[in-house]
Structure formats: C-alpha cells, structure tokens
Chains A and B, each alone.
Chain A
C-alpha cells in the first residue's frame, strides 16, 4: 500500500475551472461509500461474524433478497458482501462476513460504534415471486447460507404463498452451523422442513452426515412444481444443481448465486466477468439454465 504525502494538494480543483461541488454526495453517487454505524457485532463462528448497521444519515437501505453491498473499511479497502438481513426490515442492514483477507480481517477487529462505508445494493435478486404456488427448495453450503437468509425470511414472511418449503443446509461440522438459533427455529416449525447435514460429525452430532446433495436425493418435494435456490462453494453448487435436475426440477427453475471479486460493482472494472456476464450487475443470482454450460469450465 502506498501513502499520500500531500493528500489533497494534487486534487484541488484548478483555479481556472472551479468545480461546483467539492465533495461528492454518497446518497446519489454509486462510486462513493455512505457511512454506516455498526450497532451490533455477533461472532457467529471461529472466523465468521455478523454486523448490524444503521445509516448515519438515517435513510434505510432497501434491498431485494440476494443482492449485495460493497463494504468499505476506511483506508483499508472494499469488498463485496451479500446482504443477510430481512428485506422487510431495511432500517437495520445485516452483513455476515468471513475473515479471509485484508479487508475482512480488518472488519473482524471492528467493534460496535465503528463506521463502515456502504455502496449498494447491487446485482440481481432471488426471484421469489416465480416460486409462488409451488414447492421451494433452498440449498445452502457453508457460509452460502448468508446470501440465502433474506430469501428464507421472505419465504417465511409470505409462507402461505408457497406449497412445501424445504431448507437443506450442509455445514462443515456441527460447530460450523451458521445462525444456529434460527436454524433451530426453522427446524421447529411445522410448515418448514429444515435439514442440516455435516461433512464431519463431531461431538454428539446425531443428525445426517454427508454432502448436502444427499439431502436433495432423498426428495420430499414435488419436482415439477419446485423452484430451487442454491448458494455455496461452486463445486457444491454444481453438484446440487445436478442433483436437483436429476430429481426432475427444471433447469430454468434452479437459481444460484456466484461469488467473484469486484472492485466497482458497476460493470466497469471487469474483474467479476464470468463468460459474458458481469457477476456484479448480471448476477450474483443466475438462472441455472443460462449458466449450466459455463459452470463446469475450469478456471473460467
């Protein structure tokens, strides 16, 4: 990282062409982060945490399930993180993040009261409305549950609009189950079938052991009427989409959310390109029928 010896000098407007506004307006400029206050920090797992954030200007950040924001740590950098809150409660912005790199590790060290810059929301959403009247299968792997959480909130808020609702969640170990309290609550509902499987059983785990695709294979949903929403590591999503279509779910009714690094989130920086798609604006939520060809292409 380089430093600015004289930070402002080089950027002062030249006297012959005074610029009308010296400071950009974060409310209208998609390139500029809006300051948000961290009101709550919850350590979810050994490397995963959730921030509840409130806009300093008080304006709620409305979003659709599946969309993401760019989170900025002052002077450190910016990362794309999906939104994990309830779309019906936009006053509190919720982000669940895993500390893996420079920016997310800086976030891990932040406490309530600190400020995070937010740009967004960006990208495509889980098309919840297309699932009405039929069965819904939500398939999550690891931290892939975080981008699906707003969708699950929406499904449960509008529970009567859907037939069966299944949540199939694969975690690394029983200790790595995200949103444990909520997962337990989903499992306790009579109108939701929530199943959790772990790759590695530890402690007194008495639930299923094995990959999440095995839960798909076990069925329990009406394939022709099913809409599926999938999020997790790419290999897991490939296996899950494959298992769903082998069960008879139409490719056009399977949706997945892709992860790529992004610098601008506006379609200009080119980093998130995946074939002809800009994941930032054409995704992150894609229809499986549209991307099934490119999903297995290595290093693409």
Chain B
C-alpha cells in the first residue's frame, strides 16, 4: 500500500537521523529506490527466512523485532521507533531475514527496494562508502545493546548469596 501523501522522499531522508550529514545528490540517488508506506498495528513487516528484498527506515510508530521459538512462542527482542532503521539482511547474501518484525502501532516508513539499492551502490562506490559506515554504526549499537541485555544487568547478582556479601 503506497502512501498517498506526497512528501518528497529526499526531504524525509534528509530529516532522518540515519542519513544525517549525507549530501543532497546522494539522497536523491537513494530516493530513486524508495517509496513510503504505512503499516497498520499488528501487520507483520518482516518474516524470518523470507527474501530480504527491502530495507526500512522508520518515520513514526513502533515495530518489534521478534523471534518465535517452540518453547517461548513469539518473543520480542527489541522495539524500534521513529529514527531507527530496520533490517540489514538485504546487504548480506543469501538475503534472507534472520528475524521477524511486527508493527506494534500504526507505523509510517520509507521502504527501499533492495535490488535497486544494491545496483545503485555497485554503480556508485562513493555512495556505498557513505552508506556503509551508517549501517556499521547501527549494527554496532544493536550488538552493544544485545550484549547489555544478555548480561541481565538487573538480575540477581551471581554468587552474592554464597559469599554473604552485604
């Protein structure tokens, strides 16, 4: 469902923190691969294992990255909000989503067509050079967050009871 409200995509990208500092000609090239979309709350945005054929930039709303396991059912791992991006499996062969994602609220996003984007980056290494560090920054932040979550920082301190400290 393509968004009917026509705001130039370049402007949306220009105002999005992920693209902060990118020059207008580059944003125009990126915008050529992009459309805007809205997702209703409850809509499955990504499905684990499906073809990673797009990349999502969140403008408003909320999307939960989830994993479904037989033991715990569908477990949200992280929620993403306005200013976040969703999905980088489109960058790495075999281009399959590693997690699912569901809109928690009505969500507005810019969607990039992955084959179009990959072709653009192939043709313009300068563009790729400016885009890749932004992905690495996000990936690094997500990895850091995941490790902090894994640490279970707020959980009971391990071993304290045995030692009787405090």
Docked-complex contact A101 and B166, CB < 8 angstroms? yes
Are B154 and A239 in contact, CB atoms less than 8 angstroms apart? no
Contacting residues, chain A, for B148 (C-beta < 8 A): 199, 211, 213, 235-236, 239
Is A295 among interface residues, defined by CB-CB distance under 8 A?
A: no
Is A168 among interface residues, defined by CB-CB distance under 8 A?
no
Known contacts A209-B78, A211-B145; A103/B153 CB under 8 A: no
Contact with B along A199-218 (1 / 0, CB 8 A): 11100011111110110011
Contacts A210-B78, A213-B145, A261-B165 known; list 8 others, CB within 8 Å. Answer: A100-B160, A100-B161, A101-B160, A103-B166, A104-B166, A170-B154, A211-B145, A232-B153
Is A171 an interface residue, CB under 8 A from the partner?
yes
Neighbour of B149 across the interface among A98, A100, A104, A200, CB < 8 A: A200
Q: B164 at interface (Cβ–Cβ under 8 A)?
A: yes
The secondary structure that dominates the B interface is: mixed
The answer to the question of A47 belonging to the interface, with a C-beta cut-off of 8 Å to chain B, is yes
C-alpha gap A109/B144 in the complex (Å):
38
> What size tier do the contact residues of chain B reach?
20 to 34
A-B contact count, CB below 8 Å? 83
Give complex CA distance A105, B161 in Å: 9
Measured CB to CB, the closest approach of chain A to B84, in angstroms, equals 8
The chain A residue with its CB closest to the CB of B104 is A206
> Could you mark each residue 36-54 of chain A with 1 if its beta carbon is under 8 Å from any beta carbon of chain B, else 0?
0000000000010000000
Q: Is the CB of A209 within 8 A of B79?
A: yes
Given that A171-B154, A172-B152, A199-B149 are contacting pairs, would A209 and B76 also be in contact in the complex, using a CB cutoff of 8 Å? yes
Closest CB in chain B relative to A248 CB, distance in Å: 13
User: B75: which A residues are within 8 A, CB to CB?
Assistant: 200-201
Which residue on A lies nearest to B148, using beta carbons? A211
Residue of B nearest to A210 (CB): B78
Cα–Cα, bound, A199→B76 (Å):
10
B64 touches A101 (CB 8 A): no
- Inter-chain CA distance A232–B153, complex, in Å, is 9
User: Is there contact, CB below 8 Å, between A142 and B83?
Assistant: no
